[in-house]
A and B are shown apart, each in its own frame.
Chain A
Amino acid sequence: MEAVVRQRRHRFNFRGSLNIPFVVFMIFFVIVPLFLILFYAFTDAEGHFSLRNWADIFSSAEKWKTIGTTFLVAFATTAICLLIAYPIAYILSNKKFNKNKVLVYVFLLPMWVNFVVRTMALKDMLNVAFVTMFKTQLTASYPLLGTIIGMVYDYLPFAILPLYNQMLKMDKNQIEAAADLGANPVRVFYKVIIPMTVPGIISAATMTFMPTMSSYVIAYHMSNAKIPIIGTLIEFYFNTGTGGYNSGAVLSLVMLIIIGFSLVAEKLSDKKDDSRKAGIW
């Protein structure tokens, strides 16, 4: 008996070993980069400990403005994406309109095209349209609007997909039950359909909010480089010489923290919804 036990203890644990590639990956591509960011954020160009990077960034009104713009763009994009994606997902989830799920692919197809190509094409098309209609380029005259349009266009599929998946799982009986109990279609919508799709709304919001916070290509092209957002700044710092890494790392950390907070906030609201009332947030 004892021999068996001992043998067991010393045996090579094959299942456990399957974790090794994952752990190695996490160490090299998540943990080490994180520590590098931390290191750069709290050191100066010579590698000595310093808080100057932080002071520099947070004492600059311009940087604050950039962070504010980033928030504005991210919130606006998320809200607009949700407003557009919700009815689309609702129609797509209805088997009457979307028999073979072909329509879903039509909406997701843009994701197959290269991101930069897609953005550039959108920019040129909108500019041509604006020149013919308003005699001015969209990206030159309304850079903020251009940025938001670009973000919405690029991230809309990420909002549609989770909502669509959630709506496929919707309990149609509950919708019928609400109508049966005297709720007209409008009431059915906000008393039953919206509460049922809250998890989808939350993940759609996360899926659009997070990438808009960190993207910079879209803002750069769609505003003719006029609207700096955090991503643009980070890119700028990391591409300039001495000391750029340190300031860039600080901004990266700030962004990480913001995204982290938004995730926690969404988790919390999710939990609240499970157990309590019907509100969306």
Chain B
Amino acid sequence: MDKENIIISLQGVSKVFDGTTVVDNFNLDITKGEFVTFLGPSGCGKTTTLRMIAGFELPTSGVILLNGQDISLLPPYKRPINTVFQRYALFAHLNIYNNIAFGLKLKKIPYEVTDKNGNVVTKFRHYTKQEIKEKVERALKVVDLEGFEKRDISTLSGGQQQRIAIARAIVNEPEILLLDEPLGALDLKMRKEMQLELKAMHKKLGITFIYVTHDQEEALTMSDTIVVMNDGEIQQVGKPKEIYDEPNNAFVADFIGESNIYTGTMAKDNKVRFLNKYWDADPVDFGKFPVNEKVDVVVRPEDFILGKEGSGVVDGVVSSKIFKGMHYEYIINVGKSEVIVQSTAELDEGIKVSLKVEPVNIQIMKKPFVSNFYDGYITKDYKVEFANAEFDVDILPLFPGAKINENEVLVDENGNEIDVVDMEINVEVPFEAITISDDPDASDIHGNIISLIYLGDHYEIMVRTEEEEDFILNSPDLWNENDTVSVIIDKSQIHLSRKGVKK
């Protein structure tokens, strides 16, 4: 990226609210004139990031550079940045003209005069009434609401109010325009129209747009660059097509468009095994993963090629068929797994088909998590505490040769007591050791489901407790996001290791 053209740069920006990290080490450079979209589910930190750029929130750490100057701590009214708010936030006590002129009336513009000593001095003045009038008219023209000056805010429809909110922001000719889910409150048809209009406006004005949305289609339609966020962290930055075709991880694949996601295993000869078959892997993934490594495999529904039974890599049965206008969407059962396939060919339910995929269309991604790891410590009755719960796990394997004597004290082979109380240890809990239940009495650990990804025959679920401990597990059942569940851990599968001791 051209360093000269970077208008805003976020470097290591983090935001912590009451001990909860909302934005975590956010690094991003945005070029002048770019249309950048922060995309992610609610609570992923995208709005907080936008608010830090606007100045409504101050970063807990990190810096925000605007044209190379640190603006991290500058109050919003001193930043050459304007915002279009989700709920418009128009001033109810002002008419449309005064709403749009609000910023102009406050603005001071520099001009140069030569004083009596012949020096050129920079002075500041306000815009004249005529200048303001012209600018307001021009802004109204851009949003297609000419002649609305005298109207009252309450007489406008939602879409018109949104246009006024945009006019009020762009009339100040900001260097960056921030848009916080501006179309969220509009109906579908209006939203589609406004998407195109916003894109056209961006082209015409040449201002840098930073747009926040949870709607992946909106992001794909409008943006030059999409920043996919989850859980306060950037998952992927790229052009819409890159993000769709080459998702970085299962989260991005699942969030952008429809996908089939499976847990696969790398095999020899550049093959990957999933759906119980070996498939030819994309040549670009050659050598990226060691053999036998577990990976996430993503295939878009439109990338499966249907064929006669036995002609492809794997056979399955068509279990459902939905007409979607341009194509049919089939669910095909392969063993215990489901495959979503889009095809223009018409097939009947119940018939056997074969599936194959061009190697380039198989996306192989590193699994972000392969197991759960926690920091734990040993309690005074030789139990293990982690994630704010106590477990009766045998700690003897941690200390070769040690045993518990008749006084219930841990001693080494020479009979000397080993002081292990409060000793910090590593705890590993494999996915398989965890189950969840909606019975609140089933365990002492309770949390909310913060994400679930369908992996063909089961869901990969992430549960977060109030203390911000995460548990990742596999479940055959469909749960709902935000469900409160009890986390049950099979203690026989908990694996302990001592800190700093390499095996």
Contact = CB atoms under 8 A, between A and B. Distances in A.
A177 B106 CA distance: 13
B92 A181 contact: no
A43 to B, nearest CB: 50
A192 interface: yes
Interface in A160-184: 171, 173-174, 176-184
A27 to B, nearest CB: 40
B92 A179 contact: no
A198 to B, nearest CB: 8
B168 interface: yes
Interface in A174-218: 174, 176-184, 187, 191-192, 195-196, 198
Contact of A187 (B82, B85, B106, B172): B106
Contacts, number: 69
Contact of B102 (A176, A181, A275): A181
Interface residues on B, range: 20 to 34
Contacts of B152: 275
A182 to B, nearest CB: 4
Interface residues of A, number: 22
A166 to B, nearest CB: 13
Contact of B83 (A177, A192, A195, A273): A177
B91 interface: yes
A174 B83 CA distance: 11
A182 B77 contact: yes
Nearest to B100: A181
A233 interface: no
A182 B172 contact: yes
A120 interface: no
B75 A179 contact: yes
A195 B153 CA distance: 15
Contact of A174 (B54, B77, B82, B91): B91
Interface in B82-141: 82-83, 85, 87-94, 102-103, 106-107
A176 B90 CA distance: 11
Given A173-B85, A177-B83, A183 B93 contact: no
A278 interface: yes
B106 A181 contact: yes
B43 interface: no
Given A180-B82, A182-B77, A174 B106 contact: no
Interface string B393-429: 0000000000000000000000000000000000000
B56 interface: yes
A184 B93 contact: no
B87 A180 contact: no
Nearest to A192: B91
B87 A182 contact: no
B77 A177 contact: no
Which of B55, B76, B88: most chain A CB closer than 10 A?
B76
- Majority SS of interface residues in chain A? helix
Contact of B92 (A174, A178, A180, A187): A174
Contacts of A183: 77, 102, 106
B93 A273 contact: yes
B89 A184 contact: no
Nearest to A275: B152
Given A173-B87, A275-B152, A179 B76 contact: yes
A100 to B, nearest CB: 16
Contact of A171 (B81, B89, B106, B172): B89
A265 B334 CA distance: 78
B168 A181 contact: yes
Interface string A255-281: 000000000000000000101011000
A198 B54 CA distance: 28
Contacts of A178: 91, 102
A196 to B, nearest CB: 7
Contacts of B77: 179-184
Given A180-B82, A182-B172, A196 B93 contact: yes
Nearest to B171: A181
B85 A177 contact: yes
Contact of B89 (A177, A191, A278): A177
B10 to A, nearest CB: 19
Nearest to A278: B93
Nearest to A175: B89
Contacts of A182: 77, 103, 106-107, 172
Contacts of A192: 91
Contacts of B90: 174, 177
A177 B87 contact: no
B52 to A, nearest CB: 13
Contacts of B106: 181-183, 187
Interface in B130-172: 152, 168-169, 172
Contacts of A171: 87, 89, 92
A174 B172 CA distance: 17
A228 B448 CA distance: 67
Interface string B242-274: 000000000000000000000000000000000
A253 B161 CA distance: 49
Given A182-B106, A183-B106, A187-B106, A176 B93 contact: no
A180 B178 CA distance: 10
A171 B410 CA distance: 63
A173 to B, nearest CB: 3
A187 B108 CA distance: 14
Contacts of A273: 93
Given A173-B85, A173-B87, A275-B152, A180 B76 contact: yes
A273 B152 CA distance: 12
A277 B83 CA distance: 24
Nearest to B75: A179
B18 to A, nearest CB: 12
Contacts of A177: 83, 85, 89-91, 168
Given A174-B92, A273-B93, A275-B152, A181 B87 contact: no
19 contacts: A171-B92, A173-B88, A173-B89, A176-B89, A177-B83, A177-B89, A179-B55, A180-B76, A180-B81, A181-B168, A181-B169, A182-B107, A182-B172, A183-B102, A184-B77, A195-B91, A196-B93, A198-B93, A277-B93
Given A177-B85, A181-B169, 7 more contacts: A174-B89, A174-B91, A177-B91, A179-B56, A180-B56, A191-B102, A273-B93
Q: Which 5 A-B pairs have the closest CB atoms?
A: A173-B89, A181-B103, A177-B89, A195-B93, A182-B106
Interface of A: 171, 173-174, 176-184, 187, 191-192, 195-196, 198, 273, 275, 277-278
Interface of B: 54-56, 75-77, 81-83, 85, 87-94, 102-103, 106-107, 152, 168-169, 172
